[in-house]
Structure 1
Amino acid sequence: MKPIGTHNYFVYITTNQNKTVLYVGVTNDLYTRLVQHHEHAKPFTYKSFAGKYNAYFLIYYERFGEIEHAIEREKELKGWRRSKKEELINSFNPEWKFLNDEVE
């Protein structure tokens, strides 16, 4: 997923199994971050919001070449109401399919 000589940063949205929680984050390694969210969801190890609410199912992501742009976008999305986030997810992934297996 990362061409040689380039940097990749991702803004992503995860949810829980029932799709009742949305978590917005930023990372430079989407696969590893998803694994971390899953690990943090194990009983008695809740180390993050995503872990506490089992929000480790990827439903949306954007790729950026500059970390500053990714952080700016993450802050923007975090400021949105849930309904606006849902519209964004629907435009990218209308079935809210879990995309974890598509990430390398």
Structure 2
Amino acid sequence: MQISFVYILKCADNSYYTGVTSNLNQRMYQYDAAFYPDCYTASRRPVELVFYAEFTNIGFAIDKEKQIKKWSRAKKEALINGDYDALPNLAKKKFQK
């Protein structure tokens, strides 16, 4: 059984990037080296791994990645901070500052 990871990176421009991989260490090396120079993170380095979760089913991991990518920044930050109780109440909408 192969483990898959869903992860969130915080980029130098303060944006978040969500991805999925079967080898998190290798993937982080690729981000640091700008292995794919045209990807979203290459021009936003350095990146910081701020969240990851392990999955035993790659299909489920991909579904979760797609779900998280649709979340608002506030909801992603609640996940990153481990504030799981807040997740159901954070809809994808604009919040007043």
Return the TM-score normalized by structure 2. 0.77
Report the identity percentage. 34
Matching residue within 47, 71, 78 for 1:80: 71
C-alpha displacement of 1:47: 2.6
> Do the aligned residues in 2 keep the contact of 1:40 with 1:46 (CA within 8 Å)?
yes
- Determine whether 1:14 maps to 2:5: no
Which is higher, the Rg of structure 1 or of structure 2? Answer: 2
- Determine whether 1:46 maps to 2:37: yes
RMSD in angstroms over aligned alpha carbons?
1.9
Classify the secondary structure of the residue corresponding to 1:25.
strand
Return the TM-score normalized by structure 1. 0.72
- For structure 1, the residue ranges without an aligned partner over 5 or more in a row are 1-5, 93-104
Report the CA distance shift for 1:46/1:82 in structure 2 as closer, same or farther (over 3 A). same
What does the per-residue CA deviation read over 1:23-69, in whole Å, with 9 as the maximum and x for residues that have no partner? 0000000000000011118xxx7331111211531110000001100
Report the CA distance shift for 1:71/1:12 in structure 2 as closer, same or farther (over 3 A). same
Matching residue within 5, 14, 21 for 1:27: 21
Report the CA distance shift for 1:77/1:55 in structure 2 as closer, same or farther (over 3 A). farther
Alignment partners' CA distance in 1, 2:71 and 2:15: 14
Alignment partners' CA distance in 1, 2:12 and 2:65: 22
Alignment partners' CA distance in 2, 1:55 and 1:22: 12
**Number of equivalent positions:** 83
- For structure 2, the residue ranges without an aligned partner over 5 or more in a row are 84-97
Alignment partners' CA distance in 1, 2:50 and 2:63: 20
Report the CA distance shift for 1:83/1:55 in structure 2 as closer, same or farther (over 3 A). farther
